[in-house]
Structure 1
Amino acid sequence: MGHITESSWVPSVTLRVGVGTPDVAALLLGADGRVRGDADMVFAGQPVHPSGAVRHSGTSLALALHEVEPEVERIVIAGAAGGGHLAAMAPDRAVVVAYLIGNPEGGEAVVFGEFYRESGGWKFTGIGKGYTAGLAALVTDYGVEVAEEEPAAGPSAPGLVKQPAAGAAEQPAPGLAQRPAAAGPLPLAGVAKGPAGNGAADGDGGHPAPSGTAKDGPAAPDGGGRNGKGGWAASVAGRMQGWVSGGGDRTADDGGGPGAFGPDFKPFTAKGEGDSVVTAGPQVPAGPVLLEVTHQGSDSYIGVHALGEDNKDAGSSLFSSQLADFTGSTVTEAPEGRPLRLRVAAYNAWTVRVRPVSAARRLRGTLKGYGPEALLYTGGPADLTVDFKGNEENGGYVSLWTHPITDGGVLSPSPTLSLSKPGRQLATVPLPDGPLLLLFSADGKWSLTVRELGL
């Protein structure tokens, strides 16, 4: 039995995913439904994907859906069958997926469900398929080559792997064990792999190395009970808030593909912790660019300023927020003749990503989000309803700047301040004919609904 709608949208943010047991793994699949190599399996013994977008931490997985490589179409969540449930939490601690699998047919391992791409966003669907032959049979179905296990003196770990023979130098962590450094099949026995090394990663348009300085986000609820009355799985459904983000199509055939809203280029990513200066790579050309920022921590602050030719703050801040587990995007101009440089002031671990403006979400129907976001609207005259519930103290602030896009100019010299109010808001504002860049900001969760007038 599941407590989600089939094929439910989930927000394209960093989700904390738990299944009530530390024996949980993620399999990153291509369009053919198979892993590209052993590195596409993330588990306790191999805790960080090379892209940094998927991590195993303690008893849960962190899936940064907005950072997953475009070649990855699906992320399968699997593990020991004892958990009986799956839950995913957004950075604001909203439970966006709660799925109960009951008692799957099969004994030792189970596919709980999968996250998959659709229309530029992400959806989740529950599966609940059990494997009597254990995790080795499960991962083999998705293209992982599993080496035969060596006989072990001790008993096997519950439902997953065998322990090494007595007298081994180190004992494995519960769950799967290390992928060897050399090429070859993935063994299900051996010494667990350690965490990634320290140091920030400066992206070159490819996939940045994971930063060992990053701290864990909000933990998934502990598995206080299995799938039964009074257990964790029963209580999580009652805590669901029904907040599931709209997809936000980024690839629709609306004349807004790559290059339509400024230059097209290979994305740039940088990661770090605390105060720093980021210099965008040479692939970022002059012109309007989409700037995406994440920042971890509940008691935190993040501020981002563009640096001018004199290496001082240029204009007002691009971001300045105390939101917990902050995620935000905006549009700024990369300068001509010199690289885009940004001053970051932050308490904790952060990620800065520079992408083409065309990568921003399209505003269609209803979109939901958290914090500031740059959106593209390509429809006709419309009414836009803004639903902002306020922050934890029912305060906060909401604003909307509307930039008409004309003659290739994305950031209008004369934008319209369509909304600027403190506190909880349920307001409707008019939108002119698109294309438009909307720079929306709210101190928490929000919902936007657009209704074209047909004029």
Structure 2
Amino acid sequence: MTQIIKGGNLPLSGEPMRVAVVRRAGGAGAPEVDAAALLVDAGGKVRGRGDLVFYNQPEHAGSGVRLTGHAQGEGGVVADWLEIDPGRVEPAVDRIVVAASCDGGAFGEVEGLYLRAVSATTGEQLAQYVVEDATTETAILLGEFYRRNDGWKFRAVGQGYASGLPGLAADFGFSVEDGPGADEEVAERPGAAEEVADAQGGAAEEVSGAAAFPAVSAPAPTVVEIPVPVPPTVPAPVPVPAPTPAPVLVPAVAKAGGPVSASVASLGAAPGRCNALPREFGPEFPYVEYMGRGKEDVEPELSLPRGFLVVDVMKKGAGEVDVVTLTIRRRRWRPVLRSRIANLRGVGVFHHDGTTPIRIRVDTQGQWMIRLRPVSTLLSFDGPLEGFGPDVLAYTGEKIDVKYRFQGDEDKSGASAVSVHRRGGHQEPAFNEWGRGRGTGSLPRGPRLLVVEAAGGWSLEPRPAGSGGFWTRRR
């Protein structure tokens, strides 16, 4: 029997395995789950940082243990996969502990959590352990593969930790001192000798009367390729005269918590100065609005000096919207905003050279409205922020780290990214993600513009530079 209960164990053949930490995908705001492995010696401790395999260190240098990626299967089942080849494990490694950690919640909120080991060659199931008693834990020691005589066995453990992956790792003698000169030595793990004696004592009985669990199909250990939708066909341009601007609606920078229903009636009153960007970063001018339908070109009669201009975009209905500036010959020039979000209210930006006439092309299927306004009206990024869809933020502080989180679209897919723009129109990527995910990156000293391109919900949280350290997710 390969399905065992907590505390049970099974013999293994020693063949190469694929081990999955499986669960059901949660909805928006559900905890993010990550798999990890610790390679432990006979004294019950890791030997250094290299003995931890996790999201920032996906492969062990000498023992054939590595994370191979995230996969999605049918019925909302998702898994993180590890490869373990017992034949390549260093003699000094006595146990391989497989764990899971979650961010943004506890394992009591994670549905259908279990560990499954299969043969790397045949796909045959070797072991399965279903977690049924998780509550407030943010890390769980799911099971361990350990040496017994001349072979290997698996034990289902199910021990929870409220201190996350750092706390679990510390229980195995793993300590990290972030910063220059931090050594990789680890301390003795309390109680390790007793556990090792238990593991190396008399042969443990195999579980034969374990409660039967229904077979659960785990996804194949490959990263799923998500097809990119083909942009909708745009109908021929239909000229629509621009109406007189009517300033009455919530400013686009104030969006948070989800999409706003678009009515294409007005973009509302432009906000006043909201940040400390220097005047030369972008010119001041009275905002202007334009309404249309389908694919149209807009030519604001604005004579402005060099600098950034903000473009608020509201689009009614489904389908893609693509907003770009045009050259004198009406060719595509600088991208402003592109999104497939239905009933979009988004924010884009472009850099004006101060000489070329401003021309903007809006390409979509239904009704739309755009507004041009100064960068001085952008919301300042000086604390945690949440939003939905494309947006632009102003930053004028010192160098910091930023924690990013993206929810993806309704299918948890779609591209999301943040780029950093400095004076003169120069830009560099800061972070990107496909679908739902999170991570960290550094933000240089301001002034800067942060351009968020998101398929759904997002959040940005500033942190002191260098505060992330070893445990901070890196992409």
- The TM-score normalised by the length of structure 1 is 0.43
Larger radius of gyration: 2
- The TM-score normalised by the length of structure 2 is 0.42
